[in-house]
Structure 1
Amino acid sequence: MVCLLVQRRLMVLLLSASLIALVGCGQGKNENLGEVSGTITLDGEPLKHAVITFQPQGGRPAFGKTGDDGKYTLMYSASEAGATIGLNKVTITNGGERRNEETDEVWYQKEQVPPKYNARTELEYDVKPGAQTYDVVLET
């Protein structure tokens, strides 16, 4: 009888711990974000080592970086992909100090992107819920 009572209490304790763990891990996706990725080209060529920023009106910005292939994925935080749903002002830059994350090499890259895409951006994008592709075609 005592053994059965101990087993039941142990079972309840294990079930409770499992539920707490599931609730803690299952916080889910941020419902206010849409996942945005794409490719940035400048004069028909992939734009390397660029930073793309989505800035909503009155919210936190999302950032993405391009590799050698010009591809990016926006990140809302270090662990959360996406950008705020709604209209976002988009800026793109590839000038300034750069660092190779693999070798720690640092260099200065001259800005190639015209001001109409960064300091005086004319770009906007309306982020929708879910995954979407936003390919950006820039011209000098």
Structure 2
Amino acid sequence: MRSSSRVFRVAAIATQSVIFTLAGCGNGDYPEMARVTGTVAYNGKPVPNMMVNFMPTEGRPSWGKTDADGKFEMVYDSDYKGAKIGHHKVYFTPPATTIDGGTSKQSRKAIAAASGLTAAELQNLRSKYGSESETKLEVDIKNDPEVLDLKLD
């Protein structure tokens, strides 16, 4: 009888330890965040269906997708919307609408159409803002909430 009560106590203590440990794994693991929304326009026109990527100086990136009006909301992960407070490089990737990676002429036209751009405009956007290494667009996230109007040319 004594050994079963001892086993019960050990199991109860172990269960409590796990619960307290998991309860401590909350917001403390996240950097200081801000809710970030905005719009993307290319030559004055809203850009729909474009992935917006924020790459901070340090840490993990945030992303968003523009809607039909070029509006976006950044997402940090499945639990948090927003972006890390601080400096970010901003780059854009078109929607993946084809299985060949956009290599054929037909695929490039389909991707451009989905983003509301001509094939030439999409190529220009990709060459200027299409990767973290190429983009010159940078933003500083300082406030919560932060509203950005990203005007591309």
> Is the structural similarity TM-score above 0.5?
yes
Residue 31 of structure 1 and its aligned partner are, at CA, apart by: 5.5
Aligned length: 112
- Tell me what 2:144 maps to: 130
Identity of aligned residues (%): 32
Question: Are 2:54 and 1:54 equivalent residues in the alignment?
Answer: yes
RMSD: 2.8
Higher strand share: 1
Residue 128 of structure 1 and its aligned partner are, at CA, apart by: 1.2
8 Å contact kept, 2:31–2:84: no
Moved over 4 A (4+): 27-31
1:81 alignment partner, SS class: coil
- Tell me what 1:13 maps to: none
Higher helix share: 2
8 Å contact kept, 2:92–2:126: no
1:88 alignment partner, SS class: strand
Distance in 2 (alpha carbons) for counterparts of 1:43 and 1:129: 27
User: What is the correspondence of 1:1-140 to structure 2 with a 5 Å cutoff?
Assistant: 27=26, 30=30, 32-97=32-97, 108-110=110-112, 112=122, 113-119=125-131, 120-139=134-153
8 Å contact kept, 1:47–1:69: yes
Distance in 1 (alpha carbons) for counterparts of 2:93 and 2:68: 15
Give me the TM-score of the superposition, normalised by structure 2. Answer: 0.62
